[in-house]
Every structure is written in C-alpha cells, then in structure tokens.
Chains A and B, each alone.
Chain A
Amino acid sequence: MTDLNDRPAPTVESQELSDLLVRVGQSQDRSAFRALFDHFGPRIRAFLIQRRVVPAMADDLTQDVMLTIWRRASSFDPSRAAASTWIYTIARNQHIDQYRKTQRASRMDETDPSLQPVPAAAADDLCEQAEAADSVGVALESLSADQRQVVELAFTEGLTHSEIAERLNLPLGTVKSRIRLALGKLKTSLGELV
C-alpha cells in the first residue's frame, strides 16, 4: 500500500481540470479533452491496476471511461463536484460493471446519480467545489494513521470490510469502528466545505 503522504501532489490544479471538463461539455473542445486525457488517462489505468484488473482489461476500461467523459461532459456541473470526483465515479461504476460481467453471464449496469441533468450553477459557486477538492486532502491527512489505512485499503485495493479485517488481523468490529471514526472526522471537516 502506498501511503498518502508519499504520493505526488496533483500536477494540475483542480480549478483548471474543472474548466477543461466544462469546455469539453460546452463546446466539445478537443484540446481540453487531450489535456484531461493526459492527466486522468494514466491515473485511471493505474487505479485499475491497483484494483487487480489485468493490464489489457485496464486499458480497455480506461478507454471506455475516457469516451464516457467526452459523451457526458455536458452533464458535469462544476458547482456540485470537482472534476476528479466526477471522473472517479465514472471509473468506479464502469469498473464495478465490468467486474460483474466477468462474475456472471447476465448483464447489469450502473448509472451514477452524479450524471443526471442538473440545473445550471450560480456563477459564484463555480470555484468552490474545485477548491474543496484540494481540502479533501487536508481532511484525509488529519486522520490518524489507523483510520486513514482502512479508508485507503477500501479505495485503493478495493478490499471489503472482512478483507480489511483479515489483512490487518483485526476483529471485524474494530475495523467497522475505525471506519466510523474516520468517516465521522471526515464528515466534520468536509461538511464545512459544502
């Protein structure tokens, strides 16, 4: 597992990513799409590889996620979510979907609520969510090492509660209470940003 603190800080500012995504949505701006591709493409692939998706499949899924970003960019509302959050939910849902398809023959898919049409944003909201994305990092770093570990194992390795308990050699109840503490703390710090 990679500790959060060892990871590079984002190279492109959240506000900039959000602007790029808005340009793709509003005017099908190809250079904006290329910039989003350069930033998120390799990260989506790395995320999937870390989730134990085989490389060829990770390539295919990354391609699908990028195509979906292009097609649905007009439903992105910068006052409601940061670009990275919006793209994360697409990647997660397509990953779950793919996982399911390989698990069983019949199909089923995921539509994420963030992609439903939403009313246009008030102009003064536009910057807030992008700034908030950077504050999530601060909130995460305010957790104790134990608390951050359970959150990260779920997100980065996709472990279930029981798998986390097994990995850390802890009773399930302890894992659940760590998750509760972590999320309680995050709620307090994230709540102020909404």
Chain B
Amino acid sequence: MTQRGHVLDDAWYLGYAAGSLASEAETVLVQSHVELNADAQDRVAGLDRIGGLLLDRMPVGEALPFSADELLDMLDQDDGRDLGDPGSAEATAVPAALDGVDLPPALARYLAGSSARMKWEFLGPGLRKSILWRGKDGTRLWLLKAQPGVSIPHHGHSGSELTLVLKGSFWDGDQEYRRGDVEEAHEDIAHDIRIGMDGECVCLALTRGKLRFGNPLLTAFQTFTGL
C-alpha cells in the first residue's frame, strides 16, 4: 500500500457503525467512503462487532406485543417478499450529469431519492460544482468536477470539510487521494490542491463554513460563485 492519506478520524467510523452521525449528508458521505475503501470496511467491521455485543447484552425489557408465530403466519401469507424490507432492491437511475462515474450505492440511492435535478455549474476554470443539499447551519453536500492538472489555489476553511474521491485523483501537498479515499480538512489548515493527471476528477464534499482564500481576488470570485 502506498503512503497516502485516505481514511477518516476514528470518530467518524464510530458514528457510522453506531448509526449516530449527525445528518443524512454525513451518513451518505461516510457510507460511500466505506463502500469504496477496504481499510474503512475493516474499521467498521470491528465496530459492528461491538454493536452486536452490546445488542446481545441489552437488558431485556417488556415482552413484545407479537409472537414469532404471528410473524411466520404473515410470511406465509405474503411469501415474505415485501415484508420488513424497505425497498433494498430498488433500481437506481444515475443522473445523466454523472455519466462515466461509478457511483457507490449509498450515493446512488441518495441521488435517486432526491427530488432536485442534478446539474453542473461553473466554479472556476476547469472546475464545476453541483450542490446536492444545504443544511441550516451553512453545511452543504456537493459534487466537484475538475479537469486533470487543475490547481485549486491556497485556501483555508472557516469550518471543516470532508472530500471523498469518486473518480480520478488529487494531491494535497505530497499526499495523494484516489477513488474511495477521503480527506478531512480542519479549520485554519491551508491547502493547495492539485488534480491528478489521470483524467477528470469527481469528488463528493461535505463543507461546513466558507472557504477562505489567501488571495483577495479569489475572495471576490468566491462571492460570485457562491462557494
């Protein structure tokens, strides 16, 4: 395995395994990352065992208001096909705007369930964005599409940002991020992002707070693009 930054802080995996992440947007991003990254799967698998143990050790409270035989009767009558399974086999149509991107199932389902039609908007030379969701506190879940070799100049964050690579790659300093890898950027840590040369790069990002550019011209530009 090459030396590269590619997994999240453990607190995210704990939140995902415990089902206690703060929003649907966080869950979609972390689950997409887990679906694409073997190391993340290992971390979650270990935590799921803790969940299983805690479930097994749950103090048993009240009796259930239905019996196993009643459930078996329901299954007999229904052939069991539609019971208790909220549409897991549901076909998901990939938005045309994401042609050529192999979407992780969690993101594909999120997009299929979202009412808004996805479209790319200009963000800068060689850069496009598509906002998927905006939270009350200025949090947004969005997609970034960048052409090979493009640089995103020196910037910081007034909040945190998670960026998951869906296609292609990018570099932040000497760290490379590829499909399934996620970068966790913290407040007041500056970045110089350079898109890899191996084709266009598509990322899913969850951003809290505005980006802060070192260059005042870019700050003006930011007002214009709404990032």
Binding site for B on A (CB under 8 A): 2, 4, 7-10, 14, 30, 33-34, 37-38, 40-47, 49-51, 59, 62-68, 70-72, 81-89, 91-97, 100, 103-104, 106-111, 113-115, 132-133, 136-137, 140, 150-152, 154-156, 158-162, 175-176, 179-180, 183-184, 186-187, 190-191
Contact A38 B52 (CB under 8 A): no
Which of B65, B75, B112 meets A67, CB within 8 Å? B75
The binding surface of chain A is classed by DSSP as helix
Q: Which residues from B are CB-within-8-Å of A190? A: 46, 49
Contact B58 A43 (CB under 8 A): yes
A70 to B75, CA, bound (A): 9
Please give me the residue from chain A that is nearest to B105 by CB atom: A111
| 7 shortest interchain CB distances as A-B pairs | A67-B84, A85-B52, A84-B52, A37-B68, A108-B113, A154-B18, A64-B84
Contact A85 B48 (CB under 8 A): yes
Please give me the residue from chain A that is nearest to B10 by CB atom: A183
Contact A46 B64 (CB under 8 A): no
A152 to B57, CA, bound (A): 12
Binding site for A on B (CB under 8 A): 9-11, 13-15, 17-22, 24, 27, 31, 34-35, 41, 43, 45-69, 71-72, 74-75, 80, 83-88, 90, 105-106, 109-110, 112-115
Known: A46-B60, A67-B75, A108-B24. A183 touches B51 (CB 8 A): no
Known: A66-B71, A67-B83, A71-B83. A179 touches B14 (CB 8 A): yes
Which of B48, B52, B71 meets A70, CB within 8 Å? B71
A166 to B83, CA, bound (A): 39
Known: A7-B57, A62-B64, A160-B22. A94 touches B114 (CB 8 A): no
Contact A67 B113 (CB under 8 A): no
Contact B71 A82 (CB under 8 A): no
